[in-house]
């Protein structure tokens, strides 16, 4: 069929706009008279503002106003009003609310001027006097003051323990106890966060916001500023990357809205790159792992304990220690999650939140265990392969991890590996091979979609979701086109507009399964209506026919058994005198059915590194990533998502670290010169394969979502490869040159 598109490697439907500069991102919309706002950030981590002098800035011609806590009107009173769809428990940060400083780089003023350059200059003239209080920002120094990591939050599952870890550990023949650490990371999408609030003549607000959920932004503005939702439209047609950073409304949205409402003018606020380090990060964790195993390699006891950071005002929760029972057939699993309140901004979901760091530690420790047992790391994983989720005591809705291990190992050539560390040496170059498993939740969220089929044969589908580079526009188009049997060119997908039907924030790899399914269903409703109308045509062969009797393809309804009996959509619309058919659909996940299963995506990652023993340079030279992501809707865009995930894993293993200077309680690597991310020169050969098994429990389309799974396991595989190359076990990320060097080169 010429209109079968699900599972085919279509080019992105928004590709042309993106390569010509026509795709407009948030900061790029303009109307005459638009004002520019620049944010001033605090220089201390904790204390209060004694005095804030704005006079020098205000004297400049063209500076319109400076907003501080002193002249910000009292807004919503309840903390609840500041909550959003992605809020953790606690009291959300309120920008410009009081003189209190709760974290370093907290926004303390907004300078609004007629030009960007002037606003930037004026912002340097704001003088802030602080009363400094003693801050605490170190996780390691405050482990004895932790609180339980529990509470209610979307996507968070409180970790459970099963069996009796202590007993099983005590009696185990082989024991391992290790501790892992990694630094903080910041999302750093290439597009910096920005919001434009157009103040319309009727007082309505048209807002362009960098967001993964236009409805979340609308909700926030409405609640905080007491403006009716009907008067607010939030748009976000293109998002220049987000990776979780735009799940919550960030403070530039507050700032732009405040200024627009106060000045009754349109205002744009774009953060600077350093300010991209001021509103949430992947939290630092210290993880303690214990394994008990039989000498033959049966894992009998696992304890995974994580200490992580949160802010003083919110309790950030993520799934760090929830994974061991999903990967290993072990009856005694202890999972402990503790938080330490620090004077930092609340951590923020960052691609595979919790999993990326938890699995790094778990899968590195498993590698250590394999050496202790003298068993090949792949064999150890297969020996302890679990057919069900031990933690949840549920079967998996689908799982091809075993096959991922097999196919990945074959592609990589794992069987040729000499397990002995330092065994693959060429001159100064030490080669190492390592591997890891990965797992991530496969989620489906409620979603609405609408569709409009017109007499000219075009179809528009829409949902208030986002495309952050994930390919949402493209898969929505493919699904709609195939379901109704239309060419891609006749379908257009709409998203990123709060006027569209409800979709949850675009995160957690859930959009394809959620919005994708809603699009499929709404198109089925259009199809049903078309069939019904076809049945009403004179001498119609489709009288009384059901969807199961026919095929929708090539803009026609055809008899399933005799395709020569068919009717073109245009004939139906003409004969029935229809201008358009409009339908809506509300997808409510079948929780009853879904809750019977553990639903997850999986990965098997194999890595090769080369380490220069004298210089300590580490180069990842080869990655094979085998992915269980259910049915792949578009192999081209899915491949790109996994590719991106792998690059993130390399970056996490070797480069990324937002370094905190605890003297000031301030992240000091707050730009792209000092915060390193992987660049083109860091790239190895990356070989990606999908081991598909449609999962109709997760979604009727069979898709499980591939946004995060590409990242999971990559850092551990690299870490394990570095051990294999050097014989040195490194238990902190990023892996630094000095850690990988010969012992003799390390002084102190």
Active site residues: 708
User: Cα angle vertex 468, ends 466, 472, to 5°?
Assistant: 55
Q: Is 566 in the site for other proteins (CB under 8 A)?
A: no
Minimum distance from residue 636 beta carbon to other proteins (Å): 5
Q: Are 677 and 188 within 8 A, CB to CB?
A: yes
Residues 353, 443: contact at Cβ < 8 Å? no
Q: Cα Rg for the chain, rounded, in angstroms?
A: 27
The nearer residue to other proteins, 116 or 227, going by C-beta atoms, is 116
Q: How far is CA 401 from CA 188, 206, 415, 443, 690, in A?
A: 31, 47, 18, 18, 11
| Contact positions with other proteins (CB under 8 A) in 505-534 | none
Q: How far is the CB of 148 from other proteins (least distance, A)?
A: 34
Taking CB under 8 A as the rule, does residue 62 contact other proteins? yes
Q: State the Cα–Cα distance between residues 121 and 321, nearest whole angstrom.
A: 47
Minimum Å distance from CB 682 to other proteins? 8
Binding residues for other proteins, how many (CB under 8 A)?
72
Residue 208 lies near other proteins (rule: CB under 8 A)? no
In the complex with other proteins, the residue whose CB is nearer, 39 or 239, is: 239
Shortest Å, Cβ 662 to other proteins: 25
What is the DSSP-derived secondary structure letter of residue 290?
E
Least spacing, CB of residue 14 vs other proteins, in Å: 7
Question: Residues 454-473 vs other proteins: string with x where CB under 8 A?
Answer: --------------xxxx--
Binding of other proteins by 673 (CB under 8 A): yes
Q: How far is CA 720 from CA 158, 184, 246, 440, in A?
A: 29, 21, 33, 20
- Length of the chain in residues, anyone? 748
Measured torsion, CA atoms of residues 30, 34, 35, 41, in degrees rounded to the nearest 10: -30
**Can you tell me whether residue 349 is helix, strand or coil?**
coil
Cα→Cα distances 726→57, 120, 374, 609, 748, Å: 57, 49, 17, 10, 20
Q: Which stretch binds other proteins (CB under 8 A): 17-25, 93-101, 579-587, 734-742?
A: 17-25
Measured distance CA(2)–CA(582) in Å, rounded: 25
Least CB distance from residue 650 to other proteins, whole Å? 9
CB 443 within 8 A of CB 508: yes
Q: Give the DSSP letter of residue 503.
A: B
Give kind and range of the element (H or E) at residue 608: strand 600-612
Which tokens in the block code for residue 212? 């993964």
Question: What's the min distance (Å) between Cβ of 396 and other proteins?
Answer: 28
Site string for other proteins, 382-421 (x = CB under 8 A): ----------------------------------------
Binding mask 21-60 for other proteins (x = CB under 8 A): xxxxx-xx-x-----x---------------------xxx
- How many Å apart are CA 611 and CA 256, to the nearest integer? 49
Angle at 688 between CA 687 and CA 690, to 5 degrees: 150
Taking the complex as a whole, the smallest distance from the CB of residue 494 to other proteins amounts, in Å, to 17
Minimum distance of other proteins from residue 84's CB (angstroms): 22
Q: Does 12 bind other proteins (CB under 8 A)?
A: yes
Residues 89-128, mask of contacts with other proteins (x by CB under 8 A): --------------------------xxxx--x-------
Out of 1, 4, 8, 16, the only residue in the binding site for other proteins (CB under 8 A) is 16
Nearer to other proteins, 101 or 109 (CB): 109
188 forms part of the interface with other proteins (CB under 8 A): yes
CB nearer other proteins, residue 71 or residue 570: 71
Q: Which of residues 258-277 bind other proteins (CB under 8 A)?
A: 270, 272-273
> Is residue 280 a contact residue for other proteins (CB under 8 A)?
no
CB nearer to other proteins: give 60 or 154: 60
Contact set for other proteins, span 213-242 (CB under 8 A): 238-242
Q: Residue 36 or residue 219: which is nearer to other proteins going by CB? A: 36
Measured torsion, CA atoms of residues 156, 162, 167, 169, in degrees rounded to the nearest 10: -60
Binding to other proteins in span 346-365, by CB under 8 A: none
Name the minimum Å distance from CB 189 to other proteins: 6
Q: 744: which residues sit within 8 A by CB, 6+ positions away?
A: none
d(CA 526, CA 452): 8
Burial 190-227 (b: 16+ CB within 10 A, else e): ebbbbbbbbbeeeeebbbbbbbbbbbbbbbbbbbbbeb
| DSSP string of 448-497, one letter each residue | EEEEEEETTS-EEEE-S---SSS-HHHHHHHHHHHHHT--GGGEEEE-SB
Between 195 and 397, name the residue whose CB sits nearer to other proteins. 195
Report the residue number, 90 or 644, with the smaller CB distance to other proteins.
Answer: 644
Nearer to other proteins, 16 or 543 (CB): 16
Of 570 and 674, CB closest to other proteins: 674
Per-residue contact flags (x/-) with other proteins for residues 678 to 717, judged by CB under 8 A: xxxx-x-xx-------------------------------
Structure-token pair, residue 268: 């744009």
* Shortest Cβ 21–other proteins spacing (Å): 2
Whether the Cβ atoms of residue 583 and residue 530 lie closer than 8 Å to each other: no
Of the pair 261, 333, the CB lying nearest other proteins is at 261
- Binding residue for other proteins (CB under 8 A) from 131, 170, 614, 671? 671
> 626 to 665, contacts with other proteins by CB under 8 A?
636-637, 639-641, 643-648, 651
Among 64, 108, 654, 660, binds other proteins (CB under 8 A): 64
- Gap between the Cα atoms of 255 and 237, Å rounded: 21
Determine how many CB atoms are found less than 10 A away from the CB of residue 685: 10
Tell me which H or E stretch contains 556.
Answer: strand 556-559
Question: Which tokens go with 227?
Answer: 């403006």
Nearer to other proteins, 273 or 536 (CB): 273
Dump strand ranges (E) for 659-730.
660-661, 666-667, 685-690
Q: Which is nearer to other proteins, 13 or 518 (CB)?
A: 13
Neighbours of 24 (CB within 10 A): 14
Cα separation of 634 and 10, whole Å?
A: 7
65 part of the interface to other proteins, by CB under 8 A = yes
Q: How far is the CB of 67 from other proteins (least distance, A)?
A: 11
CA distance 508 to 47: 36
CB of 339 to other proteins, least distance (A): 28
Under the binding rule (CB under 8 A), the answer on residue 598 touching other proteins is: no
């Amino acid at each position: 069929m010429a209109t079968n598109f699900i599972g085919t490697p279509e080019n992105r439907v928004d590709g042309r706009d993106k390569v010509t500069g026509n795709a407009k991102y948030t900061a790029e919309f303009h109307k005459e008279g638009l004002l520019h706002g620049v944010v001033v950030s605090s220089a201390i981590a904790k204390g209060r503002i004694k005095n804030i002098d704005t006079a020098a800035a205000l004297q400049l011609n063209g500076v319109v106003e400076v907003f501080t806590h002193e002249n910000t009107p009292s807004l919503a009173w309840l903390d609840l009003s500041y909550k959003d769809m992605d809020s953790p428990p606690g009291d959300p940060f309120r920008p410009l609310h009081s003189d209190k400083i709760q974290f370093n780089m907290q926004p303390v003023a907004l300078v609004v001027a007629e030009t960007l350059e002037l606003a930037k200059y004026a912002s340097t003239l704001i003088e802030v006097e602080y009363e400094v209080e003693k801050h605490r920002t170190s996780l390691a120094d405050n482990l004895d003051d932790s609180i339980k990591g529990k509470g209610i939050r979307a996507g968070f599952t409180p970790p459970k323990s099963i069996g009796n870890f202590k007993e099983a550990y005590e009696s185990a023949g082989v024991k391992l106890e290790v501790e892992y650490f990694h630094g903080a990371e910041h999302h750093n999408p290439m597009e910096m966060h920005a919001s434009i609030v157009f103040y319309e003549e009727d007082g309505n607000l048209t807002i362009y916001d960098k967001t993964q959920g236009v409805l979340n932004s609308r909700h926030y503005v409405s609640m905080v500023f007491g403006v009716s939702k009907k008067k607010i439209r939030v748009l976000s047609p293109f998002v220049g990357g987000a990776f979780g950073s735009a799940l919550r409304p960030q403070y530039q949205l507050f700032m732009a809205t405040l200024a627009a409402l106060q000045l009754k003018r349109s205002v744009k606020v774009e953060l600077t790159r350093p300010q991209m380090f001021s509103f949430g990060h992947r939290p630092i964790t210290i993880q303690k792992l214990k394994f008990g195993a039989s000498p033959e390699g049966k894992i009998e006891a696992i304890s995974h304990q994580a200490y992580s950071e949160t802010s003083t005002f919110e309790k950030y929760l993520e799934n760090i220690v929830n994974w061991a029972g999903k990967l290993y057939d072990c009856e005694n699993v202890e999972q402990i999650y503790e938080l330490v309140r620090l004077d930092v901004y609340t951590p923020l979901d960052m691609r595979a939140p919790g999993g990326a760091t938890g699995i790094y530690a778990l899968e590195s420790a498993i590698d250590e265990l394999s050496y202790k047992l003298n068993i090949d790391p792949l064999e150890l994983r297969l020996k302890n392969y679990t057919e069900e989720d031990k933690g949840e005591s549920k079967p998996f809705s689908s799982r091809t991890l075993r096959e991922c291990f097999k196919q990945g190992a074959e592609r990589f050539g794992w069987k040729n590996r000499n397990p002995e560390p330092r065994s693959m040496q060429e001159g100064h170059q030490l080669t190492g091979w390592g591997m890891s498993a990965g797992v991530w939740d496969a989620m489906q969220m409620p979603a609405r979609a609408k569709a409009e089929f017109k007499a000219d044969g075009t179809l528009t589908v829409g949902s208030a979701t986002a495309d952050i580079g994930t390919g949402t526009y493209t898969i929505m188009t493919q699904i709609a086109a195939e379901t109704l049997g239309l060419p891609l060119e006749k379908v257009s997908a709409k998203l990123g507009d709060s006027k569209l039907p409800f979709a949850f924030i675009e995160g957690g790899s859930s959009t394809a399964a959620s919005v994708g399914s809603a699009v499929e269903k709404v198109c089925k409703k259009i199809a049903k209506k078309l069939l019904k109308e076809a049945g009403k045509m004179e001498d119609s062969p489709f009288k009384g026919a059901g969807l199961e009797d026919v095929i929708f393809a090539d803009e026609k309804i055809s008899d399933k058994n005799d395709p020569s009996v068919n009717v073109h959509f245009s004939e139906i619309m003409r004969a029935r005198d229809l201008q358009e058919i409009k339908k809506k659909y509300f997808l409510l996940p079948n929780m009853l059915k879904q809750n019977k299963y553990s639903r997850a995506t999986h990965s098997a990652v194999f890595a090769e590194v080369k380490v220069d023993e004298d210089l300590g340079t580490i180069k990842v030279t080869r990655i094979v990533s085998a992915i269980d992501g259910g049915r792949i809707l578009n192999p081209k865009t899915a491949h790109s998502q996994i590719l991106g995930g792998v690059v993130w894993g390399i970056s996490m293993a070797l480069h990324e670290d937002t370094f905190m200077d605890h003297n000031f309680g301030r992240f000091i690597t707050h730009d792209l010169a000092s915060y390193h991310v992987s660049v083109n020169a860091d790239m190895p050969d990356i070989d990606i394969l999908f081991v598909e098994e449609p999962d109709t429990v997760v979604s009727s389309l069979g898709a499980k979502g591939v946004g995060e799974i590409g990242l999971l396991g990559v850092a551990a595989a690299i870490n394990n490869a570095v051990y294999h190359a050097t014989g040195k076990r490194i238990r902190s990320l990023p892996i630094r040159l000095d850690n990988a060097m010969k012992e003799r080169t390390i002084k102190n």
